[in-house]
């Protein structure tokens, strides 16, 4: 079974790189790490980058996960190939674009594009945000699934994730102590459904709520609290319809918890997404 060490980055295509850049800096509060020809790299913690906007089709999304060693990557590529998954090794140019030593790419059964990377670059300097957003780091993604049961089996039996909880058919998956690093939401298409950054406090989240309102950014869910992870959240719309989330206070499931922890089944109801009563304006969350 493949052992995913951590989620690393998201790469998003866009038709308007200048507008995406303004949003990432002015609204999200990320740091511009570098601006290469046709691609801008943003930092949210001590990693080289965690978000990339590149000139391309806005439907083109890639999520990168880190493995510990090249041997692990070779074994992962073999296991995926033996499971009937088409695995492609990254070229030297593509490795340079991702700032990793080596990687492979494949698509999960729904068609989501996944990179497995080894020796991704860290930055030699601390993250310095474009505004005081309180971001502590990039944390997780929601992915669209065209068959939740099938994709849950793939992510747990092949990629080694564990189910923390389910909302209806949607599994929330962990690869370390954090309640979830990937969530699979039923949809008619593949792609990244939302991108989460953790913030330090509820105060940071509420300051963001007022800032978003001042700038006319559409808030699509929250503020609220998830009954699954316990996190206080705020979801808002970004370029090309991408949804971003700030959250704080996410639950951890430790090694001591593991022998006793049983994933909980929540109904597909509004109260399963927010215990405070917020109603989502997100297609995959509507009940």
Q: What is the pLDDT of residue 37?
A: 86
d(CA 99, CA 46): 14
Determine the average pLDDT of the residues in 222-235. 98
Percent of the chain beyond pLDDT 70?
Answer: 100
Q: Check if the beta carbon of residue 232 is closer than 8 Å to that of residue 247.
A: yes
Q: How far is Cα 237 from Cα 22, in angstroms, rounded to an integer?
A: 14
Q: Which DSSP state fits 260?
A: G
The pLDDT tens digits of the residues spanning 180-200 come to 999 999 999 999 999 999 999
Q: What residues are paired with 112 via a beta bridge?
A: none
Q: Is the pLDDT of residue 128 over 90?
A: yes
State pTM to two decimals: 0.96
At residue 259, the pLDDT reads 87
Q: What pLDDT sits at residue 249?
A: 97
Residue 94 is classified by DSSP as H
Domain 6-118 homologous superfamily, CATH = 2,3-Dihydroxybiphenyl 1,2-Dioxygenase, domain 1 (3.10.180.10)
Domain ranges of the chain: 6-118, 135-281
Given a cut of 90, whether residue 258 has pLDDT beyond it is no
Instruction: Please enumerate in sequence order all residues whose Cβ is within 8 A of that of 85, keeping only pairs 6 or more positions apart, or say none.
Output: 106, 107
Percent of the chain clearing pLDDT 90 (strictly above): 96
Question: In the predicted model, is pLDDT for residue 287 greater than 90?
Answer: no
Over residues 99-103, the mean pLDDT reads 97
Per-residue pLDDT at 239: 97
| Res 9 pLDDT > 90 | yes
Pull the structure tokens for residue 243.
């949804």
The pLDDT score that the predictor gives to residue 166 is: 98
pLDDT of residue 181: 98
Average pLDDT estimate for 77-99:
97
Other CB atoms within 10 Å distance of the CB of residue 271 = 12
Q: What's the chain's average pLDDT? A: 97
Distance in angstroms (rounded) separating the CA atoms of residues 226 and 183: 13
CATH topology match: 6-118 vs 135-281: yes
Cα angle value 50/55/58 (rounded, 5°): 80
In this prediction, residue 211 has a pLDDT band, given cuts at 50, 70 and 90, of very high
pLDDT for 213 equals 97
Residues 241-256, mean pLDDT to the nearest whole number: 96
Predicted local distance difference test score (pLDDT) of residue 95: 97
Class of domain 135-281: alpha beta
Residue 108 in this model has a pLDDT that exceeds 90: yes
Mean pLDDT of 152-160: 98
């Amino acid at each position: 079974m493949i052992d995913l060490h951590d989620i690393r980055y998201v790469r998003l295509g866009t038709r308007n790189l200048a507008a995406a850049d303004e949003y990432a800096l002015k609204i999200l509060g990320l740091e511009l790490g570098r601006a290469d020809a046709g691609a801008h790299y943003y930092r949210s913690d001590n990693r080289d980058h965690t978000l990339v906007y590149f000139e391309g089709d806005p439907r083109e999304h890639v999520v990168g996960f880190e493995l510990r060693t090249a041997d692990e990557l070779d074994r992962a590529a073999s296991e995926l190939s033996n499971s009937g998954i088409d695995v492609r090794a990254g070229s030297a140019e593509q490795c340079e674009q991702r700032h990793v030593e080596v990687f492979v790419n494949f698509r999960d059964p729904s068609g989501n594009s996944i990179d497995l990377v080894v020796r991704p670059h860290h930055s030699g300097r601390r993250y310095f945000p474009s505004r005081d957003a309180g971001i502590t780091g990039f944390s997780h993604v929601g992915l669209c699934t065209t068959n939740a049961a099938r994709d849950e089996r793939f992510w747990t039996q092949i990629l080694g994730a564990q189910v923390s909880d389910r909302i209806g058919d949607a599994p929330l998956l962990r690869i370390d102590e954090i309640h979830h690093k990937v969530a699979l939401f039923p949809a008619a298409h593949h792609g990244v459904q939302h991108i989460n950054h953790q913030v330090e406090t509820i105060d940071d989240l509420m300051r963001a709520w007022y800032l978003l309102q001042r700038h006319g950014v559409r808030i699509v869910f929250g503020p609220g609290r998830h009954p699954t992870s316990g996190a206080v959240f705020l979801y808002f719309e970004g370029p090309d319809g991408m949804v971003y989330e700030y959250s704080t206070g996410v639950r951890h499931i430790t090694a001591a918890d593991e022998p006793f922890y049983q994933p909980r089944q929540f109904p597909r109801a509004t109260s399963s997404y927010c215990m405070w009563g917020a109603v989502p304006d997100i297609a995959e969350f509507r009940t």
